[in-house]
Structure 1
């Protein structure tokens, strides 16, 4: 009995290795329990079926051991069919014995006798699951058919067996099993010849707990590997064995952010700032932004997101990192395009002031009053103020270029007048350069007496012809 109790404990531990309602997925089953032998009722009264089975539920003649007395191991074969081997032990207290007439071989009557004989039985049984046939997961009637060998006292005999059983499954792998099996012995003559008792045909009733197991569940999550989409990671049944670490209803293998809860529309990723861009794709996850800037804002609307904009609240071009170009002179032409950044001017003249006719007239009015020493290119003292005025006018137009032209009257020959007029023009140019006018803005030409503007026959006319003119170079 101790060995059977140990087997029972081992079966309980084996029951915890797997849980699945499909017998095909749990091909092994172990049953432990008790058995009852009805050796009197069934073996009595010869072949009279009504007397053999008429008092099926009468338990007066049952023999039962108060201990675990049966152990069965079954293997699923497929198609609702399984095969199992059952071992049982009992002590028969009552058995029907035949009364013989001398000289005859068959008993003429049966009497119920008390015995104290050990009973051992080994059976191999095919079991067909009706519950599997009808698709029930908890109510499972079974038809049993097989055979085996029985030992009773010193007697032993082979037998064929058949019966019915019922499994009631409490969970996927634990159930209550009951059965009744009729064992037709091959040497059933009910003879007691000096207590040499043959083994009578009899009913054996069994009741016990059945544990199903054998399916592989690597991660121990209760879902067999063959049905588990994540067989090596503990998971949930609703996700076919896959985990949902962040509990957002999206299994980890389909969740782009498995450890941060998020909605399905973002594949399980959160959108902290609520801008419709999940944090995983959002460069500014805590500030609402625009999709074209990967979730970052553009406060000034200049097309440069704030985190890359050096002037996020003032629109400016990308070339200047989102800041407006400086315009020191306020003429609307940015300094980098303004050839005169410190002097206002129209964009049509690249930000520089335009030289108008009145400015040229003013310069020429000054030029007419420049006085040179006779036959020389040096200035008379009172001409320096005039030259300074000319320089001030030119400074208003930092990029304008001017031609300084020298003219004489007709007194003297061209051989003298031409170089003299050029020297006087260069003298004006050199003075203007000394006052800050860039040299590349000024040219000097001498025309002698070739371009008079008045008559050379009068002193007044000649005075008009001796002049310095300024021309704008365009």
Structure 2
């Protein structure tokens, strides 16, 4: 039996350590401080143990006879610590002391009493749906010393807690302790009453707020926000902060208004410059309804059609710049603000073109004509809205087909050269007329020389 006692103590110790380290951390611990009473009378009339059967009654006989049978030490005589295991189960480790001065109805000299017990109890509180009434039943084991003689016990218990709030309760409990020792053990009841203080719990994010009270249990936060964070420290918790990483104002759901124009930065297209709500927070210095960032003339009022600039006529030709295809060159209204090519200009162009020289019988332009062609290009560029046609002509010598091809090639050669020195090719066309349009007689050498020419005309 001695070996059984040692085994029981070791088992209780192992159970206490194992349970305490393997439970649901989201449930609290509890400490109980109270008093206990020991009664050997209502335990049955068998001859087992140190207490004679003659001074014991039947099981539960005179169970509540506190005056005659209960041994009570008038002081704090029981301490217990409990841990909620889960699913309604609680583990408790308890220690108690007492003085035995009566065994049943028989007075005895004061005997010392020490008890160390482990208990597993099932609470009906959740099953009953109650917030304050908490009955329980349980089993356990322990070791008891009476007058320095120790013995192991198997325990059965029933109790009830009355919760005043989430942390404080009154616990009433009665435990039947059946001795393992048939010769010197003492089977008895131990009753207890104590105040329970509940504490502890799981704090997943380590912010000092238990998960059961933490609305953001996986993110460190502040007590003022029930455990939720305020990353930017603006007094608005992240859950309600539209800009959680940038300090802002409550009126803008936690977003800043850097330029103070009453428009939150995320909606402000110009967040660093005070502006107008109608322009999404951007300024309009000239008040023309066009944001400065989109206004080509931010300090001069002008219509949107003119990019915010006032209408102008830089060349003074009576055509506003917005409609003027040649805003820097004076022209005519009929020609959309561009200058018109006069008869005198065409004559000047032809005076130059008649001096263009080609290799004999070919379309290759001779180098001495390059300067003339540059003069022609310069004049054409002064009329950017005009289109010109280059005409090739020959004398009557040779076949018609040969003269037609030669005139085509020479006109095209002039057109191509003008494009190489800066003329827009889309403004030029070329055509050959062969010998069909003479301007002098082909009967004389002088007449034939006049007929071999390049002319320039205005293409309508």
Q: TM-score range by the shorter chain?
A: 0.5 to 0.7
Residue of structure 1 in register with 2:157 after alignment: 163
Alignment match of 1:223 (pick from 194, 210, 235): 210
After superposition, give the CA deviation of every residue in 1:97-143 in whole Å (9 maximum; x if it has no partner). Answer: xxxxxxxxxxxxx6331432221112121100111323445442221
Cα distance, 1:152 vs. partner?
Answer: 1.0
- The answer on 1:288 being equivalent to 2:276 is yes
After superposition, give the CA deviation of every residue in 1:139-196 in whole Å (9 maximum; x if it has no partner). Answer: 422212222221111333333322222334455455443322232335589xxxxxxx
Q: Could you say what secondary structure the match of 1:82 adopts?
A: strand
- Assess if the C-alpha contact under 8 Å between 2:323 and 2:336 holds in 1: no
Residue of structure 2 in register with 1:89 after alignment: 97
Q: For residues 327 and 249 of structure 2, what CA distance do their matches in structure 1 show?
A: 60
Residue of structure 2 in register with 1:111 after alignment: 105
Q: For residues 47 and 165 of structure 1, what CA distance do their matches in structure 2 show?
A: 23
After superposition, give the CA deviation of every residue in 1:386-443 in whole Å (9 maximum; x if it has no partner). Answer: xxxxxxxxxxxx9799xxxxxxxxxxxxxxxxxxxxxxxxxxxxxxxxxxxxxxxxxx
Normalised TM-score (structure 2): 0.53
Check 1:179–1:335 CA distance in 2 against 1; reply closer, same or farther (3 A cut): closer
Q: Could you say what secondary structure the match of 1:246 adopts?
A: coil
- Assess if the C-alpha contact under 8 Å between 1:248 and 1:262 holds in 2: yes
- Assess if the C-alpha contact under 8 Å between 1:45 and 1:51 holds in 2: no
Map 1:25-424 onto structure 2 (within 5 A). Answer: 25-27=25-27, 29-39=29-39, 42=42, 46-49=56-59, 51-55=61-65, 58=67, 61-67=70-76, 69-92=77-100, 94-96=101-103, 111-169=105-163, 172-186=166-180, 199=186, 201-224=188-211, 229=216, 231-235=218-222, 241-243=228-230, 245-248=233-236, 251=239, 255-256=243-244, 259-262=247-250, 268-269=254-255, 278-285=264-271, 286-290=274-278, 295-296=281-282, 304-309=290-295, 311-312=297-298, 314-315=301-302, 322-324=308-310, 326-328=312-314, 329=316, 331-334=318-321, 337=324, 346-351=332-337
Q: For residues 196 and 128 of structure 2, what CA distance do their matches in structure 1 show?
A: 22
Cα distance, 1:207 vs. partner?
Answer: 0.8
Residue of structure 2 in register with 1:456 after alignment: none
Cα distance, 1:86 vs. partner?
Answer: 1.6
Q: Could you say what secondary structure the match of 2:247 adopts?
A: coil
Check 1:223–1:37 CA distance in 2 against 1; reply closer, same or farther (3 A cut): closer
Q: CA RMSD in A?
A: 4.9
Normalised TM-score (structure 1): 0.52
Q: Could you say what secondary structure the match of 2:309 adopts?
A: coil
Larger deviation: 39-48 or 81-90?
39-48
Cα distance, 1:270 vs. partner?
Answer: 5.6
Q: For residues 87 and 268 of structure 2, what CA distance do their matches in structure 1 show?
A: 56
Give the aligned length. 317
Residue of structure 2 in register with 1:192 after alignment: none
Check 1:66–1:254 CA distance in 2 against 1; reply closer, same or farther (3 A cut): farther
Q: For residues 85 and 195 of structure 2, what CA distance do their matches in structure 1 show?
A: 22
Q: Could you say what secondary structure the match of 2:275 adopts?
A: coil
After superposition, give the CA deviation of every residue in 1:221-240 in whole Å (9 maximum; x if it has no partner). Answer: 42329976463522359777
Q: Which consecutive unaligned segments of at least 5 residues does structure 1 have?
A: 1-22, 97-109, 190-196, 360-397, 402-449, 451-471
Q: Which consecutive unaligned segments of at least 5 residues does structure 2 have?
A: 1-22, 44-53, 345-381, 387-438, 440-456
**Bigger CA radius of gyration:** 1
Check 1:259–1:140 CA distance in 2 against 1; reply closer, same or farther (3 A cut): farther
Q: Could you say what secondary structure the match of 1:348 adopts?
A: coil
Q: For residues 147 and 303 of structure 1, what CA distance do their matches in structure 2 show?
A: 88
Residue of structure 2 in register with 1:435 after alignment: none
- Assess if the C-alpha contact under 8 Å between 2:221 and 2:229 holds in 1: yes
Q: For residues 187 and 262 of structure 2, what CA distance do their matches in structure 1 show?
A: 83
Q: Could you say what secondary structure the match of 2:72 adopts?
A: strand
